[in-house]
Amino acid sequence: MSNGLPARVRRVFRLALRNADRSAAETDEEMQFHLARRTERLIALGLSPDEARAEALRRFGSLPDARARMLRAARMRDGRLRFIERLGGVRQELAYTFRQLRRSPGFTVAVVSSLALGIGANATMFGIIDRVLLRPLSGVVDPARVLSIGEVRKFGGEPYRNTALSYPAYTDYREHVSAFAAVGAAESPREESLGRGAGARQVRVMPVTPSYLMLTGARAALGRFFTPDEDGLPSGSSVVVVTNGFWQRALGGSPDALGKTLDIGARRFMIVGVAPPDFTGLQYAAVDAFIPLSAGAELEFGHQNWATTRDDFWLQIYGRLAPTRSAVAAETQATAVLRAAAARADDSTATVALRSIASPSGATSDPDIRVAALLAGVSVLVLLIACCNVANLLLCRAVQRRREIAVRLTLGIGRRRLVAQLLAESLVLGVLGGAAALLVVRCGGTLMRRLLLSNWAWEGSSVDGRVLAFTALVALVVGVGVGLVPALYASAPDLSRALKEGVREGFGRRGRTRSTLLLVQATLAAVLLVGAGLFVRSLVNVDRVRLGIDTGRVLVATMDLGQSGYTQPQVEDLYARMESRVRRLGGVAAASVGVALPFSSSFAAEFRIAGVDSLPTVKDGGPYVNAVDDGYFRTLGIRIVRGRGFSQADSATHARVMVVSRTMARLFWPGANPIGQCVTFDADSLPCTRIIGVAADAHRDQVASSGDILQYYVRLEHAPAFMTPRVLFVRPVSGDAEHWVAPVRRAVESVAPALPYADVRPMQTLLEPQLRPWKLGATMFAIFGAVALALAGVGLYGVIAYGVAQRTHEVGVRVALGARPSDVVTLVVGQAVRITIAGLALGLVLAAVGVRWVAPLLYGVSGHDPWTLGMVCAVLLGVALAASALPARRAAAVDPVRALRAD
Amino acid sequence: MTHPLAVLRGTLDVLVLRALVASPMHGFEITAWIEDRAHGNLELEDSALYQALYRLEARRLVAAEWGVTDNNRRARYYHLTAAGRAHLRAETADWQRYARTVSAILGQPA
């Protein structure tokens, strides 16, 4: 009886499983059978039929309840068996899918790598956008009630919200806005030297008021945050709270770190606390340590009037709303405070605009982030292209498998099952692509963080839970999405004709579907290439901006002497000694000491020309002044275009002479020779300063400014009293400036061994933050563009080659009827070129529409730059020709006799 | 005769599996098989046996099919699966070890 049971059992199961009523009926039948047998047995033992029946029922259990329990158990059994059966089905389906994929490794690799690139690009960008725009600031409690304070004034008729405010503004808001439970202020993170001498390096320090850390709602992970009296005027206490990242990296994550000291700038700070993981305050930029605001101000300004002046704008101010108070109430109060203070003439109409730190708009003003957000949008295009590619490959595959599918249909496999199978295949491909995408994210994300967005605080891996979830979601959606087209095709009712027809196929409906997919690919690739072209052009333009200074060949050295106790003459003497020491280094062509550091600091002084009432001005502002010694123009490579630069003779005679920029000469003395003109500075008592030369315009601050610079140079010994800082410029004869950093630092430090860290760096690094958005855009657009181009090219090749293979018969007929090989080539290549031209046309239209999002991020290139558009057309057409060349040759070589016999 | 004992829930499953070792049986045969060997010492509601059978079926320790009795009546026959056999072996060993241990402890002089 047990022989052959499984098949029969299975069949019984299926019957029972299909129908709940049937299952109940069978349970009842089983119960009745049992009661009947029991009754028979009892009668055989001598009971009367009635007694036996009653006894049987008693032994069975109280009937309605017992039956209900049995039915429930039967239902559970059926449910569970059904589940097991389905699971088995899925497993079978997956095994089948994997077998199929292993059989065509080329196809699988093409699909998985396409998806990996597309999904990976998106997940990478998601990880970055998520961190800087979407995710709430780490550790901040109830961020919606924390508001940044901005003062809105009108400039040239346009309202402008300024968030860099003065210290007195902070105390005003803190004391007079009762709608705030707490008000805190902070300076943006800035670099300070850490340690002394050879082991010295740089840390990113953020000066904050104790209330700033308190109002975040975060608690120190170890130790404590600051107490209010640690931020006392004028110089605060020497205490520091380190971030978790710094604690792990620099202090080994040891609890012993508390109580240890850090030499930051010229001061020694004691570590009193460690911030919780990922905590960077109310902003996203990387930070290593928090110090009291007054201590930070002292490091930066010395004992100046930073706490009382309303003219220094250096603080970000935040308030946390008191319970039950609204932002509107706080705004009204703060506006009243602003107007009462009347720091500026037009403040009677100024207003305060509060903005929640929970809204992402705060970070979008950063050009890095705007480029990253743009790139996130662009990565979606890459994914779309990848999807088109994969859908096309799947479609080709489905067409190739028509016979197999038709056979399976005739063998009685349901259409639903078939569609499920095809979807399972694309889903498996999607999941494999998603897994491979994680590798892309790991490499790409890490690279982007390090090279292109190094300014932001990144802790932890680039693949975190949220990125993982995002990747999984995209992989599933893409898996189902790309599978739909071929699945619908395969389930089309005319498929069974395939058996009779054979596999030949013209360019019918499926051909159109594939052409459409190709068209979409070509269109999107064109859009991406336009973007890439525009950004590369911008970067090239920025790089080519004639700064007037050889930034690539100069090093700058500064030393933070704020707390050294040096008097100004001692500082000047130290720099003079540093300069002569550096000059003695072999291979140094020139060295010079100046006051203003281009791209970092600028100075302006009251300035009059006899007989001129209003001085002309330019967009860049000015005129700006720098005080420099003899070697300055030679060291920085600033050309003297007229007259002469400073000389030793001037030093010997202490001559009051100056050099002006070309723009200044042109605007201030139009049509006249500036040489020999006399200029008077603020104190009338001094003799006038005579112009001896005109220098080429040298950029002062923004790389992307117009290049019209109003600037003049006086001799270092005549520097106005407020121009206290000094910078040493060094120009090596040759070689990479980077290689000279260490020798120059050693030389500088040998002059004054006990002093703090000497900051020596190639001048080019001062430009990096300004160049970064263009670099980021150009690099990422170029990568995305290359990926898009490769995908589009491979897709085009695949479809054309496939089409040629399918049309061998047709080509044979044509050749037999007298077509020449060149006609055949034209036929094949023409198809690829037609699709590409259509895609280009659509793509250029789309790019023209989309360029307005990109335009503000470009430099020196219009969104409709003909050079870029021309290049894009050439490149895409080139790819189309290359992709169709091989299939065209194959088609031209078709032997009509063989082709016609083949079927 | 002492009063009959209520059957512990897990025990019933093992008894059912044991009943099916020799040959497939329908529900009533299993009941009768256990009753014959319990000599009236076990008290068992018949419906509980069916719930146990369905439970075992869901765990795929037994499988069932409709068959015909000697008297030509339709009945649902249960048989052990390979998993059921293995489960029975393991449970039996555990049960015996448990019973020996408890008996040994209870059998010690106070």
pLDDT category at B30 given cuts 50, 70, 90 is very high
Interchain CB distance below 8 Å, B54 and A31: no
Least confident of A160-174, A676-690, B8-22: A676-690
pLDDT category at B87 given cuts 50, 70, 90 is very high
pLDDT at A322 over 60: yes
Tokens of A172: 């005003």
Using CA atoms, how far apart are residues A153 and A163, in angstroms rounded to an integer? 11
> B25, B45, B54, B56: best mutation site toward chain A, by most A Cβ within 10 Å?
B54
Shortest distance between the Cα of A90 and any Cα of chain B, in A, equals 19
Which residues in B lie closer than 8 A to residue A26 (C-beta atoms)? 66, 76
Which residues in A lie closer than 8 A to residue B77 (C-beta atoms)? 1
Shortest distance between the Cα of A6 and any Cα of chain B, in A, equals 9
Which residues in B lie closer than 8 A to residue A69 (C-beta atoms)? 47, 51
Is residue B100 a contact partner of residue B86, using CB atoms and an 8 Å limit? Answer: no
C-alpha A376 chain-centroid distance: 7
> B7, B26, B28, B31: best mutation site toward chain A, by most A Cβ within 10 Å?
B28
Mean pLDDT for chain A overall = 82
Angle at B59 (CA atoms; ends B57, B65), nearest 5 degrees: 20
pLDDT at A120 over 80: yes
Shortest distance between the Cα of A95 and any Cα of chain B, in A, equals 23
pLDDT at A75 over 80: yes
> Measuring CA to CA, how many Å separate A668 from each of A677, A707, A715?
10, 17, 21
pLDDT at A11 over 50: no
> For the segment A557-605, what is each residue's pLDDT rounded down to a tens digit?
988 776 667 888 888 898 999 999 999 888 889 999 999 888 888 887 7
Phi-psi category of residue A502: left, alpha or beta, with phi > 0 → left and psi -120 to 50 → alpha: left
Among B54, B63, B75, whose Cβ lies nearest the Cβ of A73? B54
Which residues in B lie closer than 8 A to residue A37 (C-beta atoms)? 28
pLDDT category at A63 given cuts 50, 70, 90 is confident
Is residue A186 a contact partner of residue A208, using CB atoms and an 8 Å limit? Answer: yes
pLDDT category at A695 given cuts 50, 70, 90 is very high
Among A12, A59, A73, whose Cβ lies nearest the Cβ of B46? A59
Among B51, B65, B79, whose Cβ lies nearest the Cβ of A69? B51
Interchain CB distance below 8 Å, B58 and A76: yes
Angle at A360 (CA atoms; ends A358, A361), nearest 5 degrees: 115
Please report the pLDDT score of residue A364 as a whole number.
58
Tokens of A380: 């979606």
Shortest distance between the Cα of A417 and any Cα of chain B, in A, equals 26
Helix locations, A561-672, DSSP H: 568-583, 632-636, 648-653, 662-668
pLDDT category at A684 given cuts 50, 70, 90 is low
pLDDT at A780 over 60: yes
Interchain CB distance below 8 Å, B27 and A30: yes
Interchain CB distance below 8 Å, A61 and B57: no
Shortest distance between the Cα of A18 and any Cα of chain B, in A, equals 15
Interchain CB distance below 8 Å, A31 and B63: no
Is residue A115 a contact partner of residue A478, using CB atoms and an 8 Å limit? Answer: yes
Mean of the pLDDT values across residues A364-377? 76
Please report the pLDDT score of residue A12 as a whole number.
44
> B13, B65, B68: best mutation site toward chain A, by most A Cβ within 10 Å?
B65
Is residue A728 a contact partner of residue A578, using CB atoms and an 8 Å limit? Answer: yes
| pTM, rounded to two decimals | 0.68
Interchain CB distance below 8 Å, B31 and A34: yes
B107 or A367: which leads in pLDDT: B107
Query: ipTM of this model?
Result: 0.91
pLDDT category at A501 given cuts 50, 70, 90 is low
Tokens of A93: 């389906």
pLDDT at A4 over 50: no
Please report the pLDDT score of residue A809 as a whole number.
79
Which residues in B lie closer than 8 A to residue A34 (C-beta atoms)? 27-28, 31, 46, 50
pLDDT category at A14 given cuts 50, 70, 90 is very low
> For the segment A626-642, what is each residue's pLDDT rounded down to a tens digit?
999 988 999 999 999 99
Please report the pLDDT score of residue A10 as a whole number.
44
Please report the pLDDT score of residue A506 as a whole number.
44
Chain B nearest-CA residue for A36: B28
Please report the pLDDT score of residue A816 as a whole number.
82
Q: Which residues contact A671 (CB under 8 A, 6 or more apart)?
A: none
DSSP code of A669?
S
Report residue A753: phi and psi, to 5°: -65, -30
pLDDT at A865 over 80: yes
Which residues in A lie closer than 8 A to residue B35 (C-beta atoms)? none
Listing DSSP states for A320-381 in one string gives EEPTT--HHHHHHHHHHHHHHH--SGGGGS-EEEEEETTSGGGGGGSHHHHHHHHHHHHHHH
Among B31, B50, B65, whose Cβ lies nearest the Cβ of A12? B65
Q: With 0-12 CB in 10 A as exposed, 13-18 as middle and 19+ as buried, what is B78?
A: buried
Which residues in B lie closer than 8 A to residue A77 (C-beta atoms)? 54-55, 57-58
Q: Which residues contact A42 (CB under 8 A, 6 or more apart)?
A: A51, A52, A55, A56
Shortest distance between the Cα of A46 and any Cα of chain B, in A, equals 17
Listing DSSP states for A724-765 in one string gives ---EEEEEESSS-GGGGHHHHHHHHHHH-TTSB-EEEEETHH
Please report the pLDDT score of residue A458 as a whole number.
67
Shortest distance between the Cα of B59 and any Cα of chain A, in A, equals 8
> Measuring CA to CA, how many Å separate A127 from each of A123, A436, A448, A462, A852?
6, 16, 11, 7, 25
Say how many CA atoms lie within 13 Å of A241 toward its Cβ.
Answer: 31
Residues of chain A with pLDDT > 90, as a percent, come to 19
Tokens of A284: 């996203």
A796 or B92: which leads in pLDDT: B92
Please report the pLDDT score of residue A197 as a whole number.
62
Residues of chain B with pLDDT > 90, as a percent, come to 51
Report residue A207: phi and psi, to 5°: -75, 130
Among B32, B45, B64, whose Cβ lies nearest the Cβ of A61? B45
A684 or A706: which leads in pLDDT: A706
Interchain CB distance below 8 Å, B28 and A37: yes
Using CA atoms, how far apart are residues A254 and A258, in angstroms rounded to an integer? 9
Interchain CB distance below 8 Å, A33 and B74: yes
Mean of the pLDDT values across residues B63-92? 90
pLDDT at B1 over 50: no
Please report the pLDDT score of residue A449 as a whole number.
76
Interchain CB distance below 8 Å, A34 and B67: no
Is residue A694 a contact partner of residue A660, using CB atoms and an 8 Å limit? Answer: yes
Chain B nearest-CA residue for A83: B58
Query: Residues 19-78, chain B: which have Cβ within 8 Å of A?
Result: 23-24, 26-28, 31-32, 45-48, 50-51, 54-55, 57-58, 60, 63-67, 73-77
Please report the pLDDT score of residue A8 as a whole number.
44
Listing DSSP states for A366-435 in one string gives SHHHHHHHHHHHHHHHHHHHHHHHHHHHHHHHHHHTHHHHHHHHHTT--HHHHHHHHHHHHHHHHHHHHH
Mean of the pLDDT values across residues A299-317? 80
Which residues in A lie closer than 8 A to residue B74 (C-beta atoms)? 29, 33
Name the packing angle between helices A764-806 and A866-892 (round to 10°): 30
Classify A222 as helix, strand or coil: strand
End-to-end Cα, chain B, rounded Å: 26
C-alpha A28 chain-centroid distance: 67
pLDDT at A259 over 60: yes
Mean of the pLDDT values across residues A266-288? 88
Shortest distance between the Cα of A38 and any Cα of chain B, in A, equals 8
Say how many CA atoms lie within 13 Å of A779 toward its Cβ.
Answer: 15
> For the segment A323-348, what is each residue's pLDDT rounded down to a tens digit?
989 989 999 999 998 888 876 666 77
> For the segment A409-443, what is each residue's pLDDT rounded down to a tens digit?
777 777 777 777 778 888 899 999 999 999 988 88
Angle at A731 (CA atoms; ends A726, A732), nearest 5 degrees: 140
> For the segment A650-669, what is each residue's pLDDT rounded down to a tens digit?
888 888 899 999 998 888 88
Please report the pLDDT score of residue B25 as a whole number.
92
Classify B30 as helix, strand or coil: helix
The secondary structure element, H or E, covering residue A661 is: strand A657-661
Please tell me chain B's helix, strand, coil percentages from 3-state DSSP, rounded to the nearest 5: 55, 20, 25
Interchain CB distance below 8 Å, B46 and A61: yes
Chain B nearest-CA residue for A57: B46
Please report the pLDDT score of residue A16 as a whole number.
42
Residues of chain A with pLDDT > 70, as a percent, come to 88
Using CA atoms, how far apart are residues A365 and A243, in angstroms rounded to an integer? 25
Please report the pLDDT score of residue A270 as a whole number.
93
How many residues belong to chain A? 903
Classify A291 as helix, strand or coil: strand
The secondary structure element, H or E, covering residue A194 is: strand A190-194
